[in-house]
Amino acid sequence: MKITIEELRRLLFEITNQEQTVKELRQKLFDEEKQEFELNQITKRKLRQY
């Protein structure tokens, strides 16, 4: 099976886009986990005050 240069370019472009999407999703997950951790810390501090 032969692939044209244009098809190869399109495939590489799609792969690059998917890799970028994965990076963005990982960053969002990291940000969410960080926010959750910070909220837990705040909650613990508040509970200690009572």
Its pTM stands at 0.68
Q: Which residue has the tokens 């370019």?
A: 9
3-state secondary structure of 1: coil
pLDDT at residue 4 greater than cutoff 90: yes
- What values do phi and psi take at 4, rounded to 5? -80, 160
pLDDT attached to residue 1: 86
To the nearest whole number, what is the mean pLDDT of the chain?
95
Average pLDDT on 17-37 reads: 97
Cα separations in angstroms, 25 against 2, 4, 6, 12:
34, 32, 29, 20
Average pLDDT on 19-44 reads: 96
Rounded Cα–Cα distance for residues 29 and 31 (Å)? 5
Average pLDDT on 8-24 reads: 97
pLDDT attached to residue 24: 97
Rounded Cα–Cα distance for residues 2 and 31 (Å)? 43
Average pLDDT on 33-44 reads: 96
